[in-house]
Amino acid sequence: MNAASGGTRASPLHLLDLSWDAVPEALSVEHVTRTWDSPAIGQPMTVARWGHFGKPVIWFPTGGGHYLDVERFLMVRALGPLIDAGRIKLYAPEGVCRWTWADSEAPPPKKSLLQAKYDEYLVHELLPWIREDSGGTDQRFAATGASIGGYNALNAVAKHPDWFDLMIGMSGTYVLDRRMQGYWDHNYYYNSPTQFLPRLEGEGLERLKSCLFVLARGQHYENPVYIETVAQVLESRGIPHRVEIWGGRSGHDWPTWRTMLPLFLDKLT
């Protein structure tokens, strides 16, 4: 993987057909699921997998979305050629955003605490299981997602570069201060990359410099501030990143995301 330098640029790929008809025909991609009682979350958590070989790619669901939305909205079908070729294995874990960032009634301390517990679930349960499911591979994983799923991908890679070397965020909601309503605690700080990365030093920072962060967005129903804020932080720390701003009819929706992700993964895995 070639780690691109920082910077913002318009993508030359913005004229691609974003219609549903442009998605490849379904291939031999079927999912299997695994559920276990999570000690970190305190309830059963499920993860779905598509494929048998290749780099593990973890898709984090959108804010209030279901982990199988990645299949229902044809992202799996769009990634089918990469999965069938054995280049990637796609994993879609259940999220907690419907109880945190997508729940306007949830108290801010509950949001930050459950996000911290979700990080524990990733590190102590999900990621070791994916490694075992991938034959004990020593390769690092990729994390990806859209909207708040992009935030979870960013947080996972920024905190755990020993597990990941690639992050691809699309239309990411990376700054959640507004949803904390002025409240701040250590759980939020240590799960907010735009806050902890500026102060990160030593081995953790050096390890992050072996990762690549791809931050992409379209033109419609997007908030440019999110990407700009993250890109500025990554640039200030010398962390490799690439900003993709698409034009045309692209925007904060599945047709754009399922056009972006196969192209990025094809180039970077």
| Domain of residue 175, CATH code | 3.40.50.1820
Cα Rg of the chain, angstroms: 17
pTM: 0.91
CA-nearest of 99, 101, 97, 71 to 180 is 101
Q: Do the domain assignments include residue 120?
A: yes
Cα dist. 222→177, 206, 213 in Å? Answer: 17, 32, 19
| Confidence at residue 118, expressed as pLDDT on a 0 to 100 scale | 97
153-173 per-position pLDDT tens digit: 999 999 999 999 999 999 999
**Higher pLDDT, residue 213 or 7:** 213
Asked if residues 85 and 96 have their Cβ atoms less than 8 Å apart, the reply is no
In 74-201 the beta strands, taken as DSSP E runs, fall at 88-93, 141-146, 164-170
Q: Do the domain assignments include residue 159?
A: yes
C-alpha–C-alpha distance, residues 191 and 184, integer Å: 11
| Confidence at residue 27, expressed as pLDDT on a 0 to 100 scale | 56
Q: Do the domain assignments include residue 254?
A: yes
As for how many domains the chain has, the answer is 1
Q: Do the domain assignments include residue 76?
A: yes
C-alpha–C-alpha distance, residues 36 and 252, integer Å: 32
pLDDT-derived band at 4 (thresholds 50, 70, 90) equals very low
Q: Above pLDDT 70, what percent of the chain?
A: 89
C-alpha–C-alpha distance, residues 127 and 56, integer Å: 10
Q: Which residues pair with 217 in a beta bridge?
A: 245
Neighbours of 35 (CB within 10 A): 11
Q: Do the domain assignments include residue 3?
A: no
Q: Do the domain assignments include residue 1?
A: no
The whole domain housing 76 covers: 8-268
For residue 50 the two structure tokens come to: 């598509």
131-151 per-position pLDDT tens digit: 999 999 999 999 999 999 999
Q: Do the domain assignments include residue 2?
A: no
187-243 per-position pLDDT tens digit: 999 999 999 999 999 999 999 999 999 999 999 999 999 999 999 999 999 999 999
Q: Do the domain assignments include residue 173?
A: yes
Mean pLDDT of the chain: 90
Through-space distance between the first and last CA atoms of the chain, rounded to whole angstroms: 7
| Confidence at residue 261, expressed as pLDDT on a 0 to 100 scale | 98
